[in-house]
Amino acid sequence: MITPIEWLGTRVRFLDQTKLPLEVSTIDTDDYHVVAEAIRSLKLRGAPLIGVAAAYGVALAAVTSPTSTISEYKKGLFSVIDYFAETRPTAVNLFWSLNRLKSIVQSSSSVEKIRTAVVAEAIAIHREDAEMCEKIGKHGATLIPQSATILTHCNAGALATGGRGTAVGVITTAHEMGKKIHVFVDETRPLLQGARLTTWELQQAGIKHTLITDNTAAFLFQQHKIDLVIVGADRIAANGDAANKIGTYNLAVLAHYHNTPLYIAAPSSTIDPTIPSGSGIPIEERHAKEVTEGFGVRTAPAGIKVYSPAFDITPAILISGIITEKGIHRFPYNFQTTA
pLDDT digits 0-9 by tens, 244-258: 999 999 999 999 999
Residue type at position 44 = L
Longest dimension (CA), the chain: 67
How much is the pLDDT for 338? 46
Q: Is 53 left (phi over 0), alpha (psi -120 to 50) or beta?
A: alpha
In this structure, the answer to whether residues 146 and 288 fall within a common structural domain is: yes
339 located within any domain = no
What mean pLDDT value characterizes the chain? 97
Name the H helices within 142-185: 167-176
**Is-contact 322 328, C-beta < 8 A?**
yes
CATH number at residue 115: 1.20.120.420
* SS3 assignment, position 166: coil
Q: What is the mean pLDDT of residues 266-280?
A: 97
pLDDT band at 300 (very low <50, low <70, confident <90, very high): very high
What mean pLDDT comes out for the span 59-75?
92
Prior bond of 190 cis (ω within 30°): yes
- The answer to whether residue 14 scores a pLDDT higher than 80 is yes
**Residue 239 placed within a domain:** yes
| The pLDDT of residue 339 is above 50 | no
pLDDT at 2: 86
In a domain, 107, yes or no: yes
Looking up residue 214, the CATH number of its domain turns out to be 3.40.50.10470
Closest CA to 155 of 186, 124, 126, 181: 186
* Structure confidence at residue 66 as a pLDDT band (50, 70, 90): confident
- The SS3 of residue 205 is helix
Q: What is the mean pLDDT of residues 267-287?
A: 97
Residue pair 244/264 in contact (Cβ under 8 Å)? The answer is yes
CA distance 178 to 169: 14
Specify the amino acid at residue 69: T
What is the reported pLDDT for 109? Answer: 87
In this predicted structure, the answer to whether residue 13 has a pLDDT above a threshold of 60 is yes
Last residue of a domain, one of 113, 134, 155: 134
Given a contact cutoff of 8 angstroms between Cβ atoms, the answer to whether 43 and 28 are in contact is no
- Looking at residue 298, its amino acid is R
pLDDT score for 336: 79
Q: Say yes or no: 305 and 192 in one domain.
A: yes
The answer to the question of residue 334 being in a domain is: no
The mean pLDDT of 229-249, rounded to a whole number, is 98
Among 77, 107, 134, residue at a domain's last position: 134
The pLDDT, as a whole number, for residue 287 is 96
The model's confidence at residue 231, banded by pLDDT at 50, 70 and 90, is: very high
What number is the average pLDDT over the span 19-34?
A: 97
Query: Are 301 and 181 part of one and the same domain?
Result: yes
Same domain, 112 and 11: yes
Quick check: is 234 catalytic?
A: yes
Could you tell me what percent of the chain has a pLDDT over 90?
A: 97
Which range of residues forms the domain containing residue 56? 5-134
Identify whether residues 202 and 109 lie together within a single domain: no
For CA atoms 296, 297, 302, 306, the dihedral sign is: negative
Q: Which of 234, 241, 272, 312 is catalytic?
A: 234
Say whether both 125 and 202 belong to one domain. Answer: no
- Do 276 and 130 belong together in one domain? no
Q: pLDDT per residue over 68-93, tens digit each?
A: 799 999 999 999 999 999 999 999 99
Check residue 173 and give its pLDDT. 98
Four-residue CA torsion sign, 68, 70, 72, 75: positive
Nearest alpha carbon to residue 186 among 236, 230, 240, 242 = 230
**Domain tally, the chain:** 2
Picking from 77, 109, 134, the residue at the C-terminal end of a domain is 134
Which pLDDT score, from 0 to 100, does residue 337 have?
56
- The arithmetic mean of pLDDT across residues 176-203, rounded, is 98
CA gap 148, 228 in Å, rounded: 8
**Looking at residues 27-39, what average pLDDT do you find?**
98
- For 308-319, how does the pLDDT look when each residue is reduced to its tens digit (9 = 90+)? 999 999 999 999
